[in-house]
Amino acid sequence: MKKVALFLANGFEEIEAIGTVDILRRAQIDVVTVSITENNAVTGAHNIPVTADKIFKDTDFTNFDMLILPGGMPGAKNLNEHEDLKNLISSFNTKGKLIAAICAAPMILGGLGILDGKRATCYPGFEPELIGAKTTGESVVVDENIITGKGPGLVFDFGLRLVEQLLGLQDRHEVQNGLLL
């Protein structure tokens, strides 16, 4: 079974985080929500509280297949200020493991130099933060091991593309059909 970590910081975009978790779990992917705070309780950008499965400092990421960064503000900024998370992302990238970010969160990848020469997308207005990227404005972009999504209204496209990257097109279509998309 594929295993992914989705990171939660106070101010995260609820639709992007919860929608992505829901879509991936429908595909039988083991999704672990990870708080980067000292608590399991994390509050989204629209004041929706969520209880994360794990706390970052107590999590071993050795057997994870993908890291997912939801956007939202100040959630993406808070993720970007977490040095241990950025070190983990860099390590995953060096190993060619999958990394996904949506909305404002691709700025984290830009700041780490991970998008240099790669195609990427983000929430409109954050393009300058995608340092080195060839921004496309598309809904979802896959370039090698990096998947980027544009924003909250496109969470279905984003989540389904993650299913496709992890399990293949057939599983994506099964989940998509079950969602009536």
| pLDDT for the residue numbered 77 | 98
At residue 169, the 3 state secondary structure works out as helix
Give φ, ψ of 58 to 5 degrees: -100, 10
CATH domain 3-103+137-178 topology = Rossmann fold (3.40.50)
Residue 103 annotated among the catalytic residues of the structure:
yes
Spatial separation of the C-alpha atoms in residues 142 and 84, rounded to whole Å: 25
| pLDDT for the residue numbered 117 | 97
pTM, rounded to two decimals: 0.97
**Would you say 80 and 73 are in contact if contact means Cβ atoms under 8 Å apart?**
no
Of 103, 105, 166, 175, the catalytic one is: 103
| Model confidence pLDDT, tens digit, residues 55-113 | 999 999 999 999 999 999 999 999 999 999 999 999 999 999 999 999 999 999 999 99
| Model confidence pLDDT, tens digit, residues 8-55 | 999 999 999 999 999 999 999 999 999 999 999 999 999 999 999 999
| Model confidence pLDDT, tens digit, residues 121-172 | 999 999 999 999 999 999 999 999 999 999 999 999 999 999 999 999 999 9
Domain boundaries, the chain: 3-103+137-178
SS3 sequence of 106-168 = HHHHHHCCCCCCCEECCCCCCHHHCCCCEECCCCEEEECCEEEECCHHHHHHHHHHHHHHHHC
What does DSSP say about strands 54-55 and 49-51: parallel, antiparallel, or unpaired? unpaired
Q: Which of 33, 34, 19, 8 is nearest to 175 (CA)?
A: 19
| pLDDT for the residue numbered 92 | 98
Spatial separation of the C-alpha atoms in residues 162 and 181, rounded to whole Å: 16
Give φ, ψ of 149 to 5 degrees: -125, 155
